[in-house]
Amino acid sequence: MTGIDIHSPEYRERTTDFEAEARSCPVRWTDRHEGHWLISGHDTVTEGLRDRDRYSTVKYTDENGKLCGGLTIPTAEGYRALPNEADPPEWDGLRRLLAKPFSPGAIEQLRPMIQRYATEVVDHMIEAGEADFVMEVGSPVTALVTLDILGLPLTDWRFYAERIHQTFTGVPGGGDSEAGIPGIQKRLSESIAARRLNPGSGLLDDLIAAEIDGEPLTDETVKDLVYDILVGGFDTTAGLLAGAVRYLEDKPQERERLLTDDTCLRTATEEFLRYISPAVGLAKTATADFELDGETVHKGDRMWFMYRAANWDPEEFANPEQVDLDRARNRHVAFGSGIHRCLGSHLARVIFQTVIREFLTRVPDYRVVQDEAESYVFACVNAGFAVLPLRYTPGPRIHETPVLEQV
Ligand code: HEM
C-alpha cells in the first residue's frame, strides 16, 4: 500500500477494493506524488474534517517558489477556489456572505425555478429518443439553476458546463483536462467588470456590493467565489443524478416509490449521496506536528481525505455496497464535514429530487447504452460519467420555448 498511486489506472479499475484495503489501516502513508497520507475510515475522516485548526486548504508558494497546498494532489495551478481554499479567519468572512442565499429556506423558495429548468431540459431531449444524460440533463439543469441564482447570462451555460466537464473527464497533467480553466476565469472577470458598470440583480451583484470588515471585495475575490460555486456544483450534481439513473434502470418498484413517496425520496437522496459519493476525495495540508491513529503527522504533510471510503465503511454502514432506500441512520460525508462542508448541499438535494421525478415520470422506459457509457478516467477526486448514453421512446414537450433553445 505504501506505493499506492491515487491517479493510477489500477485505482480506477479497483476503486472499492483499494478503498477497503486502505480502510484496514485508516491513516497510512504513500510515497507517490512526493508522499502523502491517505485518510479513509469513517470516524477518522469525519473527525479530521471537523478539526478547524490542524488542516489547511490554502495554496502557498514554498521557499523554492513552488506552488503547494490546495485541494488536489499534485497542487493545481491557475485558479483559487473560494471559500474552499481559504482558512479561518478569512474563510469565516467569505462563507458568511454565501450562507443565506444557499440556506435551506432560500433554496425552498427556488423550487418553482428549479422545476421549470428540469421540465425544460427534459423537453430538450425527449423527442429524440436518445441522449447523453450527463450533458443533456444533469449538467445543464444544474448550470441553468446556478447561473440564474448568480444572475449570470443563461446563454453562457454551455460555455461553463463544457469546460467544467472537461476538467473532470481528463487526466490531470496528462492532457488538456485543465485547458478550459483559463477561459472560465477570463469570462468571469469580464462579466464582473461589466456588472460593476451596469449592476444587475443576482448573487453576483450582491457579492460585488458586499464588504468584509468594512472593506469591499476585490474583483479577484468575487471571481474566485463564483468559480467555486460553478465548479463545485455542475459535475457533482450531474454525477449524482447519472449514478442514480443508471442504478434505477432495471428497478421499477424502487422507481415507483421515488415517484409516489416523499419520505422515501428524501431518505433515498441521502442514500444515493452515500453510495455514489460524487466527491471521492480531496486534499488538505497539516498545519502542525501531531499524532493520528498512532502515526506521526508533520507540519506541511499532505493529507488525502477519502470521502467515499468513509461512506462505504462497514463499521459505520451495514452492507455499505448495497443501496438501501430506507437506510435510516446515514451519517455520510458525501458533502464533507466541518467548516468546508458543502455550501450547495441543500441546492444539490432539491435539484436531485426535482430532476429525478421529472425524468422518471416522462422517460419511463429508458435503457442505458452500457457499452457506450464511460466513467471519468481520473477516479480519485470525483465519481461520474464522461458520457451516459440513453435510449427511450420519444415523448412530447411541455413548454413551447425551452430556454436551452434560446441559447
Ligand atoms: C451532489 C452534489 C455535490 C457534492 C457531492 C458536493 C460535495 C462537496 C464536498 C465534499 C465539499 C467539501 C470540500 C472540502 O472538504 O474541502 C464541498 C464544498 C463546497 N461545495 Fe459542494 N458538492 C455538491 C454540490 C454543490 C453545489 C450545487 C454547489 C453550488 C453552490 C457547491 C458548492 C460548494 C462550495 C462553494 C464548497 C466550498 C465550501 C467552503 O469551503 O466553505 N457544491 N462540496
> Poorest-confidence range of 47-56, 235-244, 383-392, 396-405?
396-405
What per-residue confidence (pLDDT) applies to 110? 98
Report the domain count for the chain: 1
- Bond prior to 112 in cis (omega within 30° of 0): no
- Strand pairing of 290-292 and 295-297? antiparallel
What is the mean pLDDT of the segment spanning 114-125?
A: 96
* pLDDT of amino acid 175: 58
Q: Is residue 26 reached through a cis peptide bond, with omega within 30 degrees of 0 on the bond before it?
A: no
Query: In sequence order, which residues have a C-beta less than 8 Å from that of residue 380 and are 6 or more positions away?
Result: 6, 7, 11, 280, 281, 304
Tell me if 201 is assigned to some domain. Answer: yes
Cβ 124 vs Cβ 136: under 8 Å = yes
Q: What is the pLDDT of residues 177-214, one digit of tens each?
A: 667 888 999 999 999 999 999 999 999 999 999 999 99
Question: Residue 275's domain spans which residues?
Answer: 9-406
Residue of 236, 237, 342, 346 to mutate, ligand 1, most atoms within 8 A of C-beta: 342
- Identify the residue whose cell numbers are 432506500: 325
Describe the strand order of the beta sheet including 389-391 as a list of residue ranges: 130-132, 389-391, 367-368
CA of 156 to the centre of ligand 1 (A): 22
3 belongs to a structural domain: no
What pLDDT was estimated at residue 272? 98
Q: What is the pLDDT of residue 388?
A: 98
Cα of 142 to ligand 1 centre, how many Å?
A: 13
Q: Among the atoms of ligand 1, which is closest to the Cα of residue 277?
A: 5
> How wide is the angle at C-alpha 333 spanned by C-alphas 330 and 338, nearest 5°?
120
Indicate if the pLDDT at residue 265 is higher than 90: yes
Identify the residues whose C-beta falls under 6 Å from ligand 1: 49, 57, 83-84, 95, 102, 228-229, 232-233, 236-237, 240, 278-279, 282, 307, 334-336, 340, 342-344, 347-348
The alpha carbon of 153 and the centre of ligand 1 are apart by a number of angstroms equal to 22
Per-residue confidence (pLDDT) for residue 2, from 0 to 100: 64
Residue 56 has pLDDT above 90, yes or no: yes
CATH code at 247?
1.10.630.10
Q: Does residue 2 fall inside a structural domain?
A: no
pTM, full prediction: 0.97
